[in-house]
Amino acid sequence: MSRQRVLITAVVVTIVFIGLAAVLAVIFRPVSTERVESGSIVRQNVLVGSTNPCVQCHANSTPGIVQQYGHSTMAAANVKCEDCHVVAADYPNAIAHEGTYVVNSPTPALCQKCHAREVTQFNASRHGLPAYVAVAGSQNLSETHLAQYLSIAEGQPSPDKSRNAIAALEGDAITRFTCYGCHNIGRPHEDGSAGECQMCHLRHEFSLEQARKPETCNFCHIGPDHPQYEIYTESPHGIAYHTMGHTWNWEAEPGLITVEDIPAATCAICHISGIGAASTTHDVGDRLTWFLFDPVSTRRPAWTDNKVRMQTVCMECHNSNFVNDFYTAADAATERVNEWTQEGEDLRVALMQAGALTAEPFDEPIDFAIYELWHHWGRTAKFGVWMQGPDYAQWHGAYEVLQALAEVREYAVEHLPGYVHPRHAETESGGGSD
Ligand code: HEC
Ligand code: HEC
Ligand code: HEC
Ligand code: HEC
Ligand code: HEC
Ligand code: HEC
Ligand code: HEC
Ligand code: HEC
């Protein structure tokens, strides 16, 4: 072969190869060739050079606040310090300040002027007053707040007072930093409103990216009794977030998120965000079918509608058979955990009635076993099931339930007259072998 022939052959092969590659590229082209490389938008500080007196002076007294607010979309939309902080002289907690009156902690009543829909949805949720009542009880609520609390369709169940016994044992000096650190998300205000939007919208940036990321929920949704963050982290959705999240479009227009922007589920996507056919909600109960936090879970009043709403979210990324099968299996697992926690509850009541437990809460080790059986492990098993965390469903959940149940049963053998341990009950009915 002459060198010329070799050269021509090489050129022809190359041309054919490139042509083929081009055809293949057209055939197997991804749906969209555009991809946001990083969702983090670096915004200008729009307050640089501002002549607003609050801004000018606070650029010296609290530069961090001005700096943060300057980067927010609200500042860019010309919302001013005054819009949230300035109130009438007789407003609850008004402070005389530089010729006007300000509040140092703007409440949802002030956000409501411009965000009525978000505030109404938040008020109808368990993030509102029910979260606060869970710790403080409803006895000290004002008439307006009590009426609002009682009107929340899914707000009532407050199953068990044992945590409140823990709060009482700890005392106010501690609970300010413990229970209330999380449950103040629904705290009532003297101006008649309730809640702390800033628990998710960290002031003063009010960044969508920050509110949407799971770390925001991690402030409260962690720990042995509600390890949703830990479960999420080990789930396929969490893996996608932790490995690929930096490429997602976190600033997508609210209500108009597509799977192109956020291709795997996050806490906010499943519980709050509008994505595809699902609309945004600040009522985090809107998409739930069970009261999973209960010792023995029951259905929510509007559970069939709620289920449709959650499944609408799933179906942005999964097909309907997959989602229906998942729900059938997760319902069955919830009912199985219910059988265990129901047995724990029945034993607790029987032991109480037999005088085998002291009236004093948490004064004996068995009180802790009875409590943790449902409050830590029963819940964790259910959460692990519903949010795809097999290790939590198993080793921090079902396994621990069985262990606690064994302990409570053994205690009943010793302290409850006439109690028959299930393994002996099986023997008596002929099911056993010994
Ligand atoms: C002349 C300077 C100046 C001006 C003008 C000014 N502030 Fe202040 N502001 C301060 C200083 C100083 C503090 C106190 C900071 C401290 O205590 O650490 C303060 C405190 C505050 C506080 C907290 C009040 C508290 O007691 O907790 C708020 C809220 C506030 N300012 C908002 C505003 C708003 C809104 C405006 C515009 C209407 C404004 N400020 C105008 C200087 C100013
Ligand atoms: C969209 C509403 C909003 C706007 C606009 C706003 N703030 Fe605030 N501000 C808040 C919220 C919410 C808090 C948090 C109160 C809390 O956590 O208890 C707060 C707290 C504060 C505090 C007291 C708390 C602290 O950390 O010292 C100061 C001072 C303050 N803001 C100043 C300003 C200034 C100055 C501006 C304008 C540059 C401004 N704010 C704009 C909502 C707003
Ligand atoms: C005077 C009207 C006004 C008040 C009061 C107000 N906001 Fe806003 N807010 C706006 C406007 C306008 C936008 C839209 C900015 C945009 O998307 O361009 C906005 C946007 C937002 C966003 C979305 C940010 C984004 O990037 O899209 C959040 C979150 C928010 N506000 C929270 C709050 C909270 C919390 C309060 C009360 C502490 C509050 N706002 C008070 C007018 C207001
Ligand atoms: C780390 C944040 C955090 C702390 C601290 C905390 N909780 Fe909670 N609590 C939560 C979350 C989150 C839930 C919701 C769990 C769910 O829905 O699955 C919850 C649920 C509850 C519930 C059940 C819901 C209801 O309305 O009845 C009660 C009661 C409760 N907590 C009381 C307390 C008490 C009392 C303390 C202090 C001894 C406390 N919590 C400490 C975050 C916290
Ligand atoms: C549990 C966390 C959480 C709390 C509490 C919360 N938000 Fe939000 N908020 C979010 C998330 C997440 C988004 C982004 C929704 C999305 O992805 O579409 C959001 C979005 C918003 C937006 C932009 C929505 C739009 O459609 O333009 C506003 C305005 C807003 N929140 C106001 C508030 C106000 C006012 C409160 C208090 C009454 C509040 N939020 C409390 C998590 C929260
Ligand atoms: C400051 C603490 C706090 C933060 C931050 C927080 N939550 Fe919660 N959340 C709670 C508490 C407390 C409850 C339980 C309220 C109750 O039932 O009494 C709760 C309950 C819930 C529930 C169950 C509601 C119901 O109807 O039973 C969901 C779902 C939820 N949160 C989702 C989220 C998501 C998603 C985020 C982050 C975007 C988030 N939360 C951020 C404290 C918080
Ligand atoms: C793939 C979607 C998905 C993701 C991601 C997700 N959840 Fe959930 N979550 C669910 C489903 C489904 C349920 C159970 C719904 C039911 O009762 O039908 C649930 C239940 C809950 C509950 C229990 C409410 C109760 O009844 O006690 C809380 C609280 C909660 N999620 C918070 C979170 C938080 C916080 C994150 C992120 C750390 C998160 N979820 C991530 C889908 C999700
Ligand atoms: C925005 C897209 C998106 C949404 C919404 C979404 N998922 Fe997923 N899901 C994913 C991705 C991506 C994976 C990881 C894919 C894989 O495992 O190959 C996944 C994996 C899963 C898995 C594990 C699959 C397996 O093979 O083990 C389950 C179960 C699941 N999702 C259930 C749900 C449920 C239930 C919902 C609604 C409550 C939901 N997902 C919502 C994107 C999503």
Domains and CATH numbers, the chain: 39-103 (no CATH), 245-424 (1.20.850.10)
Q: Indicate whether 24 pLDDT > 50.
A: no
The number of the ligand nearest the C-alpha atom of 276 reads: 8
Helical spans, DSSP H, in 114-261: 116-123, 129-136, 143-150, 162-170, 172-175, 179-183, 208-212, 214-218, 228-234, 236-244
CA–CA distance from 363 to each of 58, 359, 366, 416 (Å)?
A: 52, 9, 9, 19
Residue 290 φ then ψ, to 5°: -115, 155
Task: Please indicate, yes or no, whether the overall pTM of this predicted structure exceeds 0.75.
Answer: yes
Q: Tens digits of per-residue pLDDT, 136-180?
A: 888 889 999 999 999 998 887 665 566 788 888 899 999 999 999
Residue 40's pLDDT is what? Answer: 52
Nearest alpha carbon, ligand 7 atom 38: 229
CB 119 within 8 A of CB 144: no
DSSP 232-300: HHHSHHHHHHHHHGGGS-TTPPTT-B-TTT--S--HHHHHT--BTTBPP-S-TTTT--B-TTSSS--B-
Q: Which has the closest alpha carbon to 219: 245, 239, 199? A: 199
Q: Indicate whether 431 pLDDT > 50.
A: no
Q: 275 - beta bridge partners?
A: 257, 278
Residue 339's pLDDT is what? Answer: 98
Residue 29's pLDDT is what? Answer: 39
Ligand 1 centroid to residue 209 C-alpha, Å: 28
The number of the ligand nearest the C-alpha atom of 257 reads: 5
Single-letter residue type at 336: R
Residue 434's pLDDT is what? Answer: 40
Residue 120 tokens read as: 């109404």
Confidence of residue 12 (pLDDT cuts 50, 70, 90): low
Nearest alpha carbon, ligand 1 atom 34: 54
Residue 15's pLDDT is what? Answer: 54
